[in-house]
Structure 1
Amino acid sequence: MTINHLNPPTGHMADNVIGFARALRAAGLPVGPGSVIDALDALQLIEVGNRSDFYATLEAIFVKRHEHALIFRQAFMLFFRAAEEWKSMLDSVPLPDHAKKKPPPASRRVQEAMAQPAKSEERPQAQEQELKLSVSDKEILQKKDFAQMTAAEIAEVTREIAKMRLPQAELVTRRYQPDARGLRLDMRRTVRNSLRTGGEIIDIRKLGRIEKPAPIVALLDISGSMSEYTRLFLHFLHAITDARKRVSVFLFGTRLTNVTRALRARDPDEALASCSSSVEDWAGGTRIATSLHTFNQLWARRVLGQGAIVLLISDGLEREADAKLAFEMDRLHRSCRRLIWLNPLLRYSGFEAKAQGIKMMLPHVDEFRPVHNLTSIKGLIGALSSPPPAHHRSLIRSVA
């Protein structure tokens, strides 16, 4: 007997599996109708009363990537737990040790997916009104300051940032590769092919320049005034890391911390949790000059090669602004192809560079951009995807 000849389960079992698949999809797992059908067919071959077999069967069907196993396990524990059993356990039995620990990074996302009410059929007029409101809310959300958002709005912005993809702005290198439209003659391959025709050159082979995306190096200020902007910008860097493998990320407050490896985790919640755990000075003070000195001494030669683009996100409010800050900024600028300073203070239309630290940093950057809302991040994507301006320093101050 094959699975195709079996009748799929009906009744409560089928409803539970379909509802569980919807919850997984809301939590971010790519679960489609085909997976649901496969799960219903596979459940007929096992003993449904055995919880471990039931779990293993659904996991084998719904989990396609390693990083999704954690989300699946949390969703399974929440969805298939009887309400009465859970309530009695809380009333009579003390919580186990693992329940007292800090919840895993993706637990909040799973709980939000489980808490979503079932969608009911609405009248077309009500649906049209809800659509208009949602479009209006999205337009407002594009220009709303990150620091003024509620928890629900930040969650929505995080989902929007996760969808962003950075186009591949190619950087022409010095190396060549076979290219039919190239401008350089590939003498070796041309002569080799001529041997097949008795030495007559019929097919001329050419070479073209190898193009690679420019490396991106991000230096993020995690001081108290910058923590909200930095956390959302980390979501943006995580989103573009999949498309661009050469992305290096450093966090600095009173010291410099390399979080490049931590940010490469597939799950965004896990990546940001790993970044937070590896940093000891989150939301603390700011020592920009000291942090830049550490970067220039230890990391500049490792990550700033091959025409790297540096993104410096900071408000520039340095307490110890002196000649050392200007020297380190100048050294950083000379080591990279393009230095873009992202400052949330540019959200104010009347912003003026009056702080001593900002005055010392500003002459050594190529572009000066805001980074306080979704519109500013989309503007940054456009800037990174286009070639650098013709003039060396273009202080762009668009406050969208």
Structure 2
Amino acid sequence: MSTDTGRLGADGVLVGFVRALRAAGVEASTERLYAFLRAVAVLRPGVRADVYEAGRATLCGGHDDLERYERVFAAYFGSPAGRTAHAPRTAPPPRLRLVARGAPRGAGAPGGKAPSGPPVAALASSAEVLRHRDVATLDAAERDQLSRLLAAFALRGQARRSARRGPARRGEVDPRRTVRELLRRGGEPARLRRHARVERPRRVVLLVDVSGSMAPYADALLRFAHAAVRAGRTEVFTIGTRLTRVTRELSHRDPELAMAAVATAVPDWRGGTRLGELVREFLNRWGQRGMARGAIVVLLSDGWERGDPELLGRQMRRLHALAHQVVWANPRKARPGYAPLAAGMAAALPSVDAFLEGHSLAALERLAAVVRGADAGAERVRGADRA
């Protein structure tokens, strides 16, 4: 293995870690990514303590990022031993177990040839491979690791300008605050106070299919929904043979408690699918009254429909007219040769703005990027998003 190949392999693991940070809500820009790679190259790429400190110094832009960074780092590389998120380090973290891809057998023996490329952390490499694995094919240990990575997710809708105004450096003059400043100074000249419209994220609504055909993916998708609820302004419903609102159950801080609460609240696990009737029920009870208006609505389903496909098509048109954006994530889309030929999927697709995969951690990361408006390359089924 050449040195360049080894370097690219190590950089690939670190880039995957930065993608996981972005999915967790850390604003790790391209400039910060390059700074992180340069810092790790100057230090020791295979030593967990050096990777941790390099990332903490270059990728975190504020106090809120530190907690997310700690959670993602622990899930990706393992918990840094000897330190917590708020306590100073009392002992240096141990070195990672290192492997070199393509290393000749017996290279570590006396007289053996040392590998020419930089070492790559085995745990981090496995996490990067896990990002692209189909959730349905994971074993118990891999599902545990996936759960830790999903717990660090943050799902926020695209920012929109609200009618409310707040203090700003630039913008229109705020007469009330300016006059109050003049009065406070006894009429002496004072700097003009300005205000501008406040940006806030759009509401996100998740409709998660828990029918029998979606059973291999339901747990991972609900954990994704749990992280989204904790990030705020997200509503979650399960769909199968019934429509169940589970936002309150998913508000538990602990993911396992949240999953247990959802298991108790949802009566139709692994049943059939009545997408058209349930989308209509959602619109009649919640969506038409305001929950779907101007929101980003995400359906996580394979599109199998037991009911009337024409009913689903009509209800999806209603939903599309209300929502700012309709996104459909289908785990089956990643399979070779897939085409949306199922009656339900074919009926719904004309009313979908973005059609994505939903089978892996990387696919859910991309879904999160589409929801927050950061992925312009998603497959657009219709024209440009509405304002």
Under TM normalisation by the shorter chain, which class is it? 0.5 to 0.7
Q: How does 1:8-47 map to 2 (within 5 A)?
A: none
Displacement of 1:247: 1.1
1:129 aligns with 2:99: yes
CA contact (8 A) 1:142 1:373 kept: yes
Q: How does 1:329-368 map to 2 (within 5 A)?
A: 329-368=316-355
Structure 2 counterpart of 1:369, from 342, 345, 356: 356
2:261 alignment counterpart: 274
1:173 alignment counterpart: 162
Displacement of 1:384: 2.1
User: For 1:152-177, what per-residue CA distance to the aligned partner results, in whole angstroms no more than 9, with x for missing partners?
Assistant: 11111111111223467432112212
CA contact (8 A) 2:292 2:319 kept: no
2:224 alignment counterpart: 236
Structure 2 counterpart of 1:145, from 102, 113, 134: 134
Range 150-159 or range 256-265, more displaced? 150-159
CA distance in 2, matches of 1:33, 1:177: 39
Displacement of 1:30: 12
Q: How does 1:1-400 map to 2 (within 5 A)?
A: 127-129=97-99, 132-166=121-155, 169-181=158-170, 183-196=171-184, 199=187, 201-243=189-231, 245-302=232-289, 304=291, 307-386=294-373, 394-395=380-381
CA contact (8 A) 1:191 1:201 kept: no
CA distance in 2, matches of 1:30, 1:133: 15
Displacement of 1:357: 1.4
CA contact (8 A) 1:253 1:282 kept: yes
The alignment covers a number of residue pairs equal to 282
Unpaired runs of 5+ in structure 1?
A: 1-24, 38-121
Go from structure 1 to structure 2 and tell me whether the alpha carbon gap of 1:31 and 1:129 turns closer, same or farther (over 3 Å shift): closer
Structure with greater helix percent: 1
User: What is the one-letter code of the residue matched to 1:240?
Assistant: A
Displacement of 1:305: 5.5
Go from structure 1 to structure 2 and tell me whether the alpha carbon gap of 1:185 and 1:390 turns closer, same or farther (over 3 Å shift): farther
CA distance in 1, matches of 2:83, 2:121: 29
Go from structure 1 to structure 2 and tell me whether the alpha carbon gap of 1:30 and 1:292 turns closer, same or farther (over 3 Å shift): farther
User: What is the one-letter code of the residue matched to 1:395?
Assistant: V
Displacement of 1:320: 2.1
CA distance in 1, matches of 2:377, 2:164: 24
User: What is the one-letter code of the residue matched to 1:225?
Assistant: S
CA distance in 1, matches of 2:80, 2:187: 56
- What SS is found at the alignment partner of 1:242? helix
User: For 1:5-61, what per-residue CA distance to the aligned partner results, in whole angstroms no more than 9, with x for missing partners?
Assistant: xxxxxxxxxxxxxxxxxxxx99x9999779xx9xxxxxxxxxxxxxxxxxxxxxxxx
CA distance in 1, matches of 2:335, 2:202: 31
Displacement of 1:279: 1.0
User: What is the one-letter code of the residue matched to 1:193?
Assistant: E
User: For 1:132-168, what per-residue CA distance to the aligned partner results, in whole angstroms no more than 9, with x for missing partners?
Assistant: 4434422321211111111111111111111223467
User: What is the one-letter code of the residue matched to 1:128?
Assistant: L
CA contact (8 A) 1:248 1:303 kept: no
- What SS is found at the alignment partner of 2:163? strand
CA distance in 2, matches of 1:169, 1:368: 17
Displacement of 1:258: 0.6
Which protein has the larger Cα radius of gyration, Structure 1 or Structure 2?
A: 1
CA distance in 1, matches of 2:237, 2:355: 19
2:35 alignment counterpart: none
Range 306-315 or range 259-268, more displaced? 306-315
CA distance in 2, matches of 1:368, 1:185: 44
Go from structure 1 to structure 2 and tell me whether the alpha carbon gap of 1:365 and 1:277 turns closer, same or farther (over 3 Å shift): same
- What SS is found at the alignment partner of 2:216? helix
1:110 alignment counterpart: none
- What SS is found at the alignment partner of 1:165? coil
CA distance in 2, matches of 1:285, 1:390: 33
- What SS is found at the alignment partner of 1:207? strand
Go from structure 1 to structure 2 and tell me whether the alpha carbon gap of 1:329 and 1:140 turns closer, same or farther (over 3 Å shift): same
- What SS is found at the alignment partner of 1:212? strand
CA RMSD of aligned residues (A): 3.4
- What SS is found at the alignment partner of 1:318? coil
CA contact (8 A) 2:250 2:259 kept: yes
2:20 alignment counterpart: none
User: For 1:106-151, what per-residue CA distance to the aligned partner results, in whole angstroms no more than 9, with x for missing partners?
Assistant: xxxxxxxxxxxxxxxx9x8x93239644344223212111111111
2:36 alignment counterpart: none
Go from structure 1 to structure 2 and tell me whether the alpha carbon gap of 1:178 and 1:127 turns closer, same or farther (over 3 Å shift): closer
